[in-house]
Amino acid sequence: MSGLIGKKIGMTSIFDENGKNIPCTVIQAGPCVVTQVRTEEVDGYNALQLGFDDKAEKRATKAEIGHAKKAGTSPKKKIVEFQNFNGEHALGDTLDVSLFNEGEFVDVIGTSKGKGFQGVVKRHGFAGVGQSTHGQHNRLRAPGSIGAASYPARVFKGIRMAGRMGGDTVTVENLQVVKIDTEKNLIVVKGCVPGHKNAYVTVQK
């Protein structure tokens, strides 16, 4: 699918023609440079490798510098491959936000915010014990029983427990493109996308 690498700028809200307030996310999508063109003859599949956000050469490896020089550009911080990319593009081409149109729908892929170690109420939405009287001590947010007795004498896999939460790859589908600023390479989509401010995201058609 055609797409671009971007950076989440933050959230805002706009009013539509009916005066309804719509929460939106602003994404800086591109400019992205074609750093490699994969073909079926050489690589076994067709894909377009895009690079986004310049990296200082002193922080890049020799392999990254050499790979970027083939495309006539500087090393990039974020590199993503897009298979089945629409249109013909050559090595070193620059793609910007003009790839998208206002009103169309896109999918946004990002990494959710890391929450650290969390309990079952926050992580899985457990209700907790509602009754705090009649001898209830300190078990308001406890998970409760995690298994049966001497049979099966073990805890089944997949039981929802406390643990590390967040930091997962999340895809939000069918977000409508509300506004596009071609001068600043900004795209405004309806709704929210995963990740913190300045986090890298992938916007796909």
CA atoms within 13 A on the CB side of 16: 10
Highest averaged pLDDT of the listed ranges 7-11, 129-133, 147-151: 7-11
Q: How far is CA 46 from CA 39, 64, 100, in A?
A: 5, 22, 22
Mean pLDDT of 155-177: 95
What is the pLDDT confidence band of residue 118, given thresholds at 50, 70 and 90? Answer: very high
Mean pLDDT of 162-173: 95
The span from the first CA to the last CA of the chain, in angstroms, equals: 6
Residue 135 pLDDT greater than 90, yes or no: no
User: Which domains are present in the chain?
Assistant: 3-144+157-204 (2.40.30.10)
Please state, in angstroms and rounded to a whole number, the distance separating the CA atoms of residues 195 and 123: 17
Express each pLDDT in 2-60 by its tens digit: 889 999 999 999 998 899 999 999 999 979 999 999 888 998 988 999 999 889 989 99
What are the structure tokens assigned to 167, written together?
């930091």
Mean pLDDT of 170-186: 93
Amino acid in position 132: S
Which phi and psi angles does 133 have, rounded to 5°?
-110, -165
The average confidence (pLDDT) of the chain is 90
Sign of CA dihedral 27, 29, 31, 37: positive
Please state, in angstroms and rounded to a whole number, the distance separating the CA atoms of residues 18 and 15: 8
CB atoms within 10 A of CB 134: 5
Please state, in angstroms and rounded to a whole number, the distance separating the CA atoms of residues 187 and 176: 10
Q: What is the pLDDT of residue 93?
A: 86
What is the pLDDT confidence band of residue 130, given thresholds at 50, 70 and 90? Answer: low
Pairing of strands 3-15, 200-204: antiparallel
**Residue 152 DSSP code:** B
Mean pLDDT of 146-171: 93
Q: How far is CA 15 from CA 12, 21, 24, 177, in A?
A: 11, 5, 10, 14
pTM, entire model: 0.84
